[in-house]
Amino acid sequence: MPTRIVVDPITRIEGHLRIEVVLEGNKITDALSSGTLFRGIEKIVENRDPRDVWAFVQRICGVCTHIHAIASVRAVEDALDYRIPKNANYIRNIMTLTQFVQDHVIHFYHLHGFDWIDVVSALKADPAQTSALAQSISGWPLSSAGYFRDVQTKVKTLVESGQLGIFANAYWGHPAYRLPPEANLMGVAHYLEALNWQKEIAKVHAVFGGKNPHPNYLVGGMASAININGNNTINIERLNLVKTKIEEAQTFVDQVLMPDILAIANFYKKDLYGGGVRNYLAYGGVPTVDVRNPDSYLFPGGIVLDRDLSKVYDIDLKDPKHIQEFVTHSWYRYDDPQAGLHPWQGRTEAQYDGPKPPYENLDENKRYSWIKTPRWQGKPMEVGPLARFIIGYARGNQRMRTLVDDALKKLDLPLSALFSTLGRTLARALETKYSVDHLAGFHADLVANIKAGDSAVFNPDKWDPSTWPATAQGVGYCEAPRGALAHWIKINKGKVESYQAVVPTTWNASPRDAQGQIGPYEASLLDTPLANPDQPLELLRTIHSFDPCLACATHLLNREGEEMLNLRVI
Ligand code: NFE
Ligand code: MG
């Protein structure tokens, strides 16, 4: 007799996600992913000055901070054929890679780590053996027996006080945890260290964008005036601070994150469930030269279908047949509920007929999510670090290939092991390494360009709306930490006529489409064995491996939507 498990809300993510699964025996045989929150961004930017939109849409999220601003300014720049100076491109790249490194480390330790690391088991560890383990895998200095004893005492005090605090509400002692106590203690120590470390790397955003989260952006360049001898500008002291933060990040990734992921993966390498939809999409990003030159992208774009790495398809974000959003199973209204609309034709209008309190189960034959359903040529697509590495690998990116091949060799796993929950988490760590390795290079390029006498960060040519055509449309895209991100804009007489964002978590967390095809989260759960259905740790592990951000995915709202919110409160 099949049973239904509901996990709502799933925690240690951004926003509110509900997962329902059907269980037969101890295996998941069906799954529904539902975004249960809605918000308002796409409608409130209508009729505004396109040059201001980045400041609104950046507020979609504070976790993938800055990334919606970059998509937005690029959408306007694409519509107006507006070029940016070289320095602005370098600064945007430094911002993006900084974001990848910070966000991925936070995800690995703070949002995902405790799906693999058992805090309560860490209390049983021998600090001397933990020290020996840590020193056998890394030269990181915080590795003495005394240091690990102090960490253990700190956690023990928390546990004995009955106030687990940040460590509460987990499935400690669950049989799907596989690390020995010493590895668990090392993981807990690095969890605490990473909390402190992440605020340091964020200073790079503060230097170039004034603050973090939500640094300042600018259509036509960056709002980071450069004067190497100035007091209140990007000067040599600020550039040296950035260099120091990049070096610290490099050390942390090389000596903490990378040894940890390989050590942990080694204990879990038989658990290769969670593969998902078999199709992978990346728009491509981090242009070393110019966004108009995809050959210069650090992250190659493209599509891999059915896990076949021998062929990569190109994406055209402006082709209405390539990218479409369906709402057949989402609480939105289209004239034809079966239709898929390209974002330039996209609509944002709520049609809520979902469960009301007390909440009954979702119905997969009806609407069941506030997330729309994006598809590429009608197919569901996984996006994110794993997709980027699969596409980079298939495109022949040598550095990505070496990172993947070396890691898999150390783990004694075949390439096909990537198509799993563990592979997704491994790919994110490899991407952190790939990103941090390129940060120093962009910093050096920026400094060299400034020293050569170019301090321009803004191109004033098209700032004045009187120079714009009466109507224009554009798309701005980038790779965000969680995957491919794009914003589509239509401009009419200097104002925003329509605006649509399709974000990474929309791709991954999407409900079924008009054809009934399930989305990436849903597909990734099928056939997952649960050791203890009352504590679905394996389910959490798989969903968390995508690093869900429902705040990003459910960025839609209209006035009817606000009324719906009242319904929930009554
Ligand atoms: Ni709110 Fe985001 C990223 C975007 S959503 S985290 O990365 O866009 O997937
Ligand atoms: Mg949208």
pLDDT at 166: 67
pLDDT at 170: 82
Least confident range from 39-48, 107-116, 182-191, 243-252: namely 39-48
Domain 83-273 has CATH 1.10.645.10: yes
Q: How confident is the model at residue 355 (pLDDT cuts 50, 70, 90)?
A: confident
* Mean pLDDT in residue range 404-410: 98
74 CA distance to ligand 2 middle (Å): 17
* Mean pLDDT in residue range 170-186: 95
Q: Which residues contact residue 33 at a Cβ distance below 8 angstroms, ignoring those fewer than 6 apart? A: 17, 18, 19, 369, 371, 509, 510, 511, 519, 521, 522
**pLDDT tens sequence across 237-265:** 999 999 999 999 999 999 999 999 999 99
464 CA distance to ligand 2 middle (Å): 28
Ligand 1 atom at shortest distance from the alpha carbon of 60: 1
d(CA 129, CA 183): 9
- The residue with greater pLDDT, 533 or 273, is 273
pLDDT at 271: 94
156 CA distance to ligand 1 middle (Å): 35
* Mean pLDDT in residue range 33-56: 89
71 CA distance to ligand 1 middle (Å): 11
Q: Which residues contact residue 466 at a Cβ distance below 8 angstroms, ignoring those fewer than 6 apart? A: none
Ligand 1 atom at shortest distance from the alpha carbon of 62: 1
Residues 228, 166: contact at Cβ < 8 Å? no
**pLDDT tens sequence across 503-526:** 999 999 999 999 999 999 999 999
| Protein residue closest via CA to atom 6 of ligand 1 | 64
Q: Which ligand is nearest to the CA of 15?
A: 1
pLDDT at 165: 67
- The residue with greater pLDDT, 162 or 83, is 83
Which of 39, 64, 96 is the pocket-test mutation for ligand 1 (most atoms within 8 Å of CB)?
64
Q: Where are the domains of the chain?
A: 83-273
Ligand 1 atom at shortest distance from the alpha carbon of 548: 9
pLDDT at 336: 96
Given a cut of 80, is residue 39 above it in pLDDT? no
Q: Which residues contact residue 456 at a Cβ distance below 8 angstroms, ignoring those fewer than 6 apart? A: 85, 86, 87, 88, 221, 226
Element (H, E) at 429: helix 421-451
216 CA distance to ligand 1 middle (Å): 18
207 CA distance to ligand 2 middle (Å): 31
479 CA distance to ligand 1 middle (Å): 10
Q: How confident is the model at residue 43 (pLDDT cuts 50, 70, 90)?
A: confident
Measuring CA to CA, how many Å separate 271 from each of 187, 312, 442? 19, 28, 38
Phi-psi region of 281 (alpha: psi -120 to 50; beta: other; left: phi over 0): beta
Count other C-beta atoms under 10 Å from residue 569's C-beta. 6
Residues 294, 301: contact at Cβ < 8 Å? yes
Dig out the tokens for 457 from the structure: 């960060």
Average pLDDT over the chain reads 93
* Mean pLDDT in residue range 352-366: 86
pLDDT at 564: 30
Q: Is the CB of 67 under 6 A from ligand 1?
A: yes
Residues 384, 546: contact at Cβ < 8 Å? yes
* Mean pLDDT in residue range 42-63: 93
Q: Is the CB of 549 under 6 A from ligand 1?
A: yes
Q: Pairing state of beta strands 302-304 and 285-287?
A: unpaired
**pLDDT tens sequence across 267-290:** 999 999 999 999 999 999 999 999
pLDDT at 568: 27
pLDDT at 63: 86
pLDDT over 70, % of the chain: 96
Q: Is the CB of 63 under 6 A from ligand 1?
A: yes
* Mean pLDDT in residue range 139-160: 94
Given a cut of 90, is residue 181 above it in pLDDT? yes
**Cross-strand pairs, 226:** 234
Q: Is the CB of 550 under 6 A from ligand 1?
A: no
Q: Pairing state of beta strands 297-299 and 302-304?
A: unpaired
